[in-house]
Amino acid sequence: MGGSAGGFDALAAILLAFPPDFALPALVVQHLHPSDDASFARRLARTTRLPVVEPCDKERIERGRVYTAPANYHMLVERNETISLSVDQKVNWSRPSIDVLFESAARAWGGPVIAVILSGASADGAESMRAVKDAGGLTIAQEPASADSPLMPRAAIDTGAVDEALRPEEIGRRFLQLGSRNAECERA
């Protein structure tokens, strides 16, 4: 999931729907001030029953956790189900960048990826929605009318690569449907 201006409130509404035994990991890029000292992760932790982690480089991704990109680092997904952190150039004037996360997740995981663009005032994440969709993943944008800053979800929708446009609480319910389906498949 990725957001910027107004993204915190949308993200909090989504995570509020997740039960403590939620079956999927959630990776989050929120555009942060470079000097953020993990206060975003601490604040987000107060909105969910899941553990919120600001990961270290090469940390293993576990189900039922929320991983937030640290300030001034790109967060990438590796094929071996770990997180990589990078200080490469900014993408869309951002580090962390949503495009970097989504593109790496599409390469590493393909079809099981669910990419969500939330409120924000840039186009970060819009182009990488196509990479997720082309890899067989599901792409969701926050309904622009429900966003504090609708530019980011509107840019994603305008690419033609968004499968669903939903309000934050609807996104939370959609994840619950997908998470329970994933758990059923693993038990079979």
CATH numbers and ranges of domains, the chain: 2-178 (3.40.50.180)
Catalytic residue among 97, 99, 124, 146: 124
Q: What band does 33 get if pLDDT is binned at 50, 70 and 90?
A: confident
Catalytic residue flag (residue 57): no
Catalytic residue among 4, 94, 104, 146: 4
Region at 113 (left for phi over 0; alpha for psi -120 to 50; beta for the rest): beta
Reported as a single tens digit per residue, the pLDDT across 86-125 is 999 999 899 999 999 999 999 999 889 999 999 999 999 9
How high is the pLDDT of residue 185?
35
Which among 107, 122, 109, 106 has a CA at the least distance from the CA of 156? 122
pTM of the entire structure? 0.93
Q: Where are the beta strands (DSSP E) in 61-159?
A: 66-68, 74-77, 82-86, 114-117, 138-142
Catalytic residue flag (residue 33): no
User: Could you tell me which residues are beta bridge partners of residue 130?
Assistant: none
User: CA of 74: how far to CAs of 11, 138, 147, 160, 173, in Å?
Assistant: 19, 22, 24, 25, 28
How high is the pLDDT of residue 182?
52
Catalytic residue flag (residue 74): no
